[in-house]
Amino acid sequence: MKNSDPETIRVREPRVACDGSGDIPAALGHPRVWLQIDEKGYVDCGYCDRHFVLIGSPADNIPG
């Protein structure tokens, strides 16, 4: 994976919050936004491009 590839996060709930933190302190991220995963099974954050995939959805490529 290149550093420019967006981070993919698998989630269990269709409503997710993103503040751009993770490996960095939250103060260095972006404003917290709430995102809703639709029937496609994924949603991308408009600030940091994180890719949230709902486990078991059509977009979930990982079995289990």
| pLDDT for residue 45 | 97
Q: What is the CA radius of gyration of the chain?
A: 12
Q: Which of 20-24, 28-32, 43-47, 60-64 has the highest mean pLDDT?
A: 43-47
- The backbone region for 50, taken as left when phi is positive above 0, alpha when psi lies in -120 to 50, beta otherwise, is beta
Provide mean pLDDT across the span 28-42: 94
pLDDT 10s digits, 2-24:
567 889 999 999 999 999 987 77
> Is residue 53's pLDDT more than 60?
yes
Q: For residues 20 and 29, is the Cβ–Cβ distance under 8 A?
A: yes
The tokens for 42 are 């994924």
Residue 64 pLDDT: 56
Q: Note the pLDDT of residue 1.
A: 46
